[in-house]
Structure 1
């Protein structure tokens, strides 16, 4: 199988070498890397050139800095890299971050998983962060969900689901849509991916405005958005947090901000959320 790996990068001069070194050290060699330099003002481009000048598998695309919009910025950069290649020449499409270290057998293990399981549409490992000198499981998501920094899609699945959406919540929307199309998302727990930017910091607690916008752009109906908001408020230990999330969600609805999913896809997302809610909380 041939891998196309797209890496959006903005001001990643300190982290990017670790990511690209880990790719060069892969036991599996049949891949192309396109690093999308999204308007970096540091030495990111110089870092990229060190690889593109000496390894034909590495390429770059230079962009003017795109506007910062949570979720959409990174997907926009990814798409700019994707359109430089003919994806029909590849079997696996990867979206990786510019601040991860992959184990040497990452691509080989992903390839074997796809070859041996034709129903797999999305695969990846588990994310680890440095804390007190040790690498520990990041714990920001359940262990059945492939996190945004290290996604690998079977090409047929990627095309069928319409690629990635330029919106907040894209890395949850993808898993719901592909499952709705009959594909499976699989986490390979033996693959430990190191996230090197976050040195033990807790970035799981986000502002209320983030959650309100996230639930809106995920396409959640009001009932499910309120349930999700209550869950986040409970995690934060603040009842006021709930009302702030709801205010942000309702503001988006009032403004009728554009969703990047169709009505049918929105229904699929809500059906999935409702099914999970009944199974986990209502024991139905």
Structure 2
């Protein structure tokens, strides 16, 4: 099973070598790895270049975009710069972050999942962060959700969902659209991936409204947006989180920003989300 991996990287000199070392040491080696060095001003490029000199399946692409670290379009634009350099001879396409350390059986285990379930569209392990001397689960979302840091897609699923959206919310809408097209998703709790930089740690402050914008673009509607914003505010114990989500939503609404899903897809997404809420209420 051919794995193609694309890694956007911006000023990752402290972690990129660890990430690449873990990938070139896999028991199931990837066929291609492309690292997209996006406007780094540190030693990231030189570190990547050393790996490309040693591994023929690893290549470097240099691009220049904004030097701000923002979620969403910047990352996906970098992803596509790498994707454009690849042929179509892949079974699984991966978008990985540049601050991860993978267990050496990671790709082998994913290959088994994809091989055993022909309807499996997406699969991943879990991110762990270091706290004191222990590595603990980075528990930000439901366990059935695949984190944006370590996405892996079957080729046909990737094509069905229209590939990755160049927008905030890309790493949520991909799963929702996969379900819309009748693909299944799996997460493997045995695969512990070390996440060296906790999510959002280096995001620019201008990204604080981005999640509300994403809800608008995915056609959540205001009621679902309020409920989700309230849930996250309670989880993070921050009223500002709630306010920022709603401000982001209304700002996108006023600006009439283009949605990233069709009306039918939006209807499916809202139904899926409401069903999830009702099921959780029943179980409590």
Settle same-fold status: TM greater than 0.5.
yes
The alpha-carbon deviation at position 80 of structure 1 amounts to: 1.1
Query: CA contact under 8 A between 2:39 and 2:67: conserved in structure 1?
Result: no
User: Cα gap change, 1:140/1:77 in structure 2, threshold over 3 Å: closer, same or farther?
Assistant: same
1-structure distance, mates of 2:261, 2:277? 22
2-structure distance, mates of 1:210, 1:44? 27
The alpha-carbon deviation at position 39 of structure 1 amounts to: 1.0
User: Cα gap change, 1:84/1:277 in structure 2, threshold over 3 Å: closer, same or farther?
Assistant: same
2-structure distance, mates of 1:244, 1:92? 36
* Residues 140-166 of structure 1: per-residue CA shift (max 9 Å, x gap): 111111111111111111111110111
User: Cα gap change, 1:30/1:10 in structure 2, threshold over 3 Å: closer, same or farther?
Assistant: closer
Query: CA contact under 8 A between 1:168 and 1:218: conserved in structure 2?
Result: no
1-structure distance, mates of 2:282, 2:143? 21
Q: Look up the match of 2:81.
A: 80
* Residues 244-270 of structure 1: per-residue CA shift (max 9 Å, x gap): 532331121011112222222222221
Is 1:52 equivalent to 2:56 in the alignment? no
Query: CA contact under 8 A between 1:8 and 1:37: conserved in structure 2?
Result: yes
Q: Look up the match of 1:114.
A: 114
Is 1:197 equivalent to 2:197 in the alignment? yes
Q: Secondary structure at the match of 2:168?
A: coil
User: Cα gap change, 1:240/1:154 in structure 2, threshold over 3 Å: closer, same or farther?
Assistant: closer
- Counterparts of 1:121-200 in structure 2, within 5 Å, are 121-198=121-198
User: RMSD over aligned Cα, in angstroms?
Assistant: 2.3
What TM-score do the two structures reach when normalised by structure 2? 0.91
- Counterparts of 1:170-249 in structure 2, within 5 Å, are 170-198=170-198, 209-237=209-237, 242-249=242-249
Gaps of 5+ in 2: none
Q: Look up the match of 1:277.
A: 277
1-structure distance, mates of 2:22, 2:138? 20
User: Cα gap change, 1:103/1:40 in structure 2, threshold over 3 Å: closer, same or farther?
Assistant: same
Higher alpha-carbon deviation: 97-106 or 71-80:
71-80
Q: Look up the match of 1:71.
A: 72
Q: Look up the match of 1:97.
A: 97
Query: CA contact under 8 A between 1:101 and 1:195: conserved in structure 2?
Result: yes
What TM-score do the two structures reach when normalised by structure 1? 0.91
Q: Secondary structure at the match of 2:193?
A: strand
1-structure distance, mates of 2:49, 2:108? 26
The alpha-carbon deviation at position 283 of structure 1 amounts to: 6.1
Higher alpha-carbon deviation: 124-133 or 57-66:
57-66
User: Cα gap change, 1:254/1:283 in structure 2, threshold over 3 Å: closer, same or farther?
Assistant: farther
* Residues 138-195 of structure 1: per-residue CA shift (max 9 Å, x gap): 1011111111111111111111111011111111111110011111110011110000
Aligned residues: 280
2-structure distance, mates of 1:65, 1:161? 26
User: Cα gap change, 1:220/1:57 in structure 2, threshold over 3 Å: closer, same or farther?
Assistant: same
Q: Secondary structure at the match of 2:163?
A: coil
Query: CA contact under 8 A between 2:101 and 2:195: conserved in structure 1?
Result: yes
2-structure distance, mates of 1:137, 1:67? 30
The alpha-carbon deviation at position 31 of structure 1 amounts to: 1.9
User: Cα gap change, 1:263/1:133 in structure 2, threshold over 3 Å: closer, same or farther?
Assistant: same
